[in-house]
A and B are shown apart, each in its own frame.
Chain A
């Protein structure tokens, strides 16, 4: 059935998204167009609820509600994958920033090593 094909493609899409990582300008534009399309479809379905069932029947699903559930699952997975990638990106940035801060601060405290030559010297003042 056609619905199976659609859902499989959507699932593979989640995977590809996971692999590709950082979204560039083009991907972001497509996402926005997709969102626009989603809004149009939503409005159309709200105005003519029976149209959802018609579409569902056309792709091999019994009821419009079922079709929505399937689509919802696919979209949900996309969102989860996107959030995960963004989260990892943020973590890398925070790490780089914290590292820079730690090293810069240590460098400001004086020589690289507090008393590498004279081990009885006092610890660096803070």
Chain B
């Protein structure tokens, strides 16, 4: 049953942690597609050693582009019925995934977005909380979707949704783009509480808050 799940992990210079992340994910889901987005370090080799299929972008294109590459590869396997997007920096908890997949099976839900705001497990700095909230408000205004966390890398969706996710925003604006596609495609979505582990590593590697400015500009300039 875990064989009908493809986990897509976009990887860019995550050699330090990605090996553990892939190993942890593969304990539950054997089909892991790591998209190495032109890393300069050993990320690709490490993912391979951990048992993932590695797709190598010859140049760095951005996380949105990497997600789409991984999804298109997963679609080549006809037995894959559900997709998971998972961050490479160790901020997600694999244990959250099975519950989200169960939501796909149980109801008519086609997409489940992870949200760090549905329970009190995730600790955020006030500044980060403020910016993420602003992103949520923007998305609600533009797509009319009732979501609480627009830039969470943990998502679960059906094959049908995967085929519709033809992301064109290469950079970090894909968070909003995915929501738009789901909203415009009238896919049935739900949210699930997930835990984000803000380690010193993920904080150092993650997007600076200032990048939210770029995301907004990218969305407007489309």
| Residues of chain A having any CB pair with chain B under 8 Å | 91-92, 94-95, 98-99, 101-103, 105-107, 109, 112-117, 119, 123-124, 126
Interface residues on B, range: 20 to 34
A113 contacts across to B, CB distance below 8 A: 30-32, 53, 77
Quick check: A119 and B26 within 8 Å, CB to CB? Answer: yes
Contacts A98-B59, A119-B26, A119-B30 given; does A92 touch B52 at CB 8 Å = no
Determine how close the nearest CB of chain B comes to the CB of A17; give it in whole angstroms: 14
Quick check: B57 and A106 within 8 Å, CB to CB? Answer: no
Determine how close the nearest CB of chain A comes to the CB of B79; give it in whole angstroms: 9
Give chain B interface residues in 15-33, CB to chain A under 8 Å. 26, 30-32
| Residues of chain B having any CB pair with chain A under 8 Å | 3, 26, 30-32, 35, 48-49, 51-59, 61, 65, 68-69, 72-73, 76-77, 168, 170
Quick check: A99 and B57 within 8 Å, CB to CB? Answer: yes
Quick check: B72 and A99 within 8 Å, CB to CB? Answer: yes
B30 contacts across to A, CB distance below 8 A: 113, 115-117, 119
Quick check: A99 and B51 within 8 Å, CB to CB? Answer: no
Q: 8 tightest A-B contacts by CB?
A: A102-B55, A116-B30, A99-B69, A98-B57, A106-B55, A113-B31, A123-B48, A112-B77
Quick check: B61 and A114 within 8 Å, CB to CB? Answer: no
Question: Which residue of chain A is the closest to B65 with respect to CB atoms?
Answer: A95
Contacts A95-B65, A116-B3, A117-B30 given; does A106 touch B53 at CB 8 Å = yes
Other-chain residue from A106, A114, A116 in contact with B73 (beta carbon distance below 8 A): A106
Cα of A118 to Cα of B74 in the assembled complex, Å:
19
Cα of A107 to Cα of B55 in the assembled complex, Å:
9
B57 contacts across to A, CB distance below 8 A: 98-99, 101-102
Cα of A124 to Cα of B44 in the assembled complex, Å:
13
20 A-B pairs with C-beta separation under 8 A = A91-B170, A95-B65, A98-B58, A98-B69, A99-B57, A101-B57, A102-B35, A102-B57, A102-B58, A103-B69, A106-B56, A112-B73, A113-B31, A115-B30, A115-B51, A116-B3, A116-B30, A119-B26, A119-B51, A123-B49
Quick check: A95 and B53 within 8 Å, CB to CB? Answer: no
Determine how close the nearest CB of chain A comes to the CB of B85; give it in whole angstroms: 16
Contacts A116-B3, A117-B30 given; does A95 touch B73 at CB 8 Å = no
A107 contacts across to B, CB distance below 8 A: 76
Quick check: B59 and A94 within 8 Å, CB to CB? Answer: yes
Quick check: B52 and A114 within 8 Å, CB to CB? Answer: yes
Cα of A95 to Cα of B170 in the assembled complex, Å:
8
Contacts A94-B59, A106-B54, A106-B73 given; does A99 touch B3 at CB 8 Å = no
B168 contacts across to A, CB distance below 8 A: 92
Question: Which residue of chain B is the closest to A98 with respect to CB atoms?
Answer: B57
A94 contacts across to B, CB distance below 8 A: 59, 61
B77 contacts across to A, CB distance below 8 A: 112-113
Contacts A92-B168, A99-B68, A123-B49 given; does A112 touch B76 at CB 8 Å = yes
A115 contacts across to B, CB distance below 8 A: 30, 51
